[in-house]
Structure 1
């Protein structure tokens, strides 16, 4: 009888420990905001000030990573160019100066915080340099 009681107790403890771990993990949620700007029709000029915007209305109460970063992507490949960093993902926007990059119609923005959301492809004009 004691053996069954100990086994039952061990199973109950294991079950409650799993429940506690799951509850602690679900206390924070991943936030995947929709990028609203730039759009597919956006044209940025090198040296201009631009603002990336995203939806924040449906943000969860607890976000796993609320510090944002915006990277430039070209042709589906991430570049080493960080456009903005250190802002709250709940700000819904971040502004920066467009860096000197080669002309192209296949640029995207990747917004990091909890996730790596992508904007539609858009155009950057004004330079023929590599970076």
Structure 2
């Protein structure tokens, strides 16, 4: 009789453990943290833009739709060509809410390029031409 009592206690414990596990196995309602993603459209350069290597040019973007709180307000500008972003950083650490920043056009092979404006997220300028050196 004593061994029956131990078995009953074991099964009662096992049953309660399984019941507790099942009751807590439901979906967890987690509150997602709202993120302020800011993707300002680049307004300069445009498709009609032609820059020359060595010139100082102004990159500009529209900040009119900026959220109140921006997760990362520090910007970076890089060049891109044929879907590949160059490791060369043209500008870094500026306030993305400035709406424009001057860069020096690097010495490149003449071609069609894009700029990438990084801040909260990366966005691309339209294709534009840089006159540089011949291949």
- Superposition deviation, residue 126 in structure 1: 3.0
- 1:35 is the counterpart of 2:42: yes
Question: Runs ≥4 in structure 1, deviation > 2 angstroms?
Answer: none
Aligned residues: 113
Q: TM-score, normalised by structure 2?
A: 0.76
Structure exhibiting the larger radius of gyration computed from Cα positions: 2
Q: Is the 8 A contact 1:76 1:108 kept in 2?
A: no
Q: 1:1-131, aligned counterparts within 5 Å? A: 15=29, 18-19=30-31, 22=32, 25-26=33-34, 28-104=35-111, 106-128=112-134
- Ranges in structure 2 where 5+ consecutive residues have no aligned partner: 1-15
- Superposition deviation, residue 128 in structure 1: 2.7
Q: TM-score, normalised by structure 1?
A: 0.78
CA RMSD of aligned residues (A): 2.0
- Ranges in structure 1 where 5+ consecutive residues have no aligned partner: none
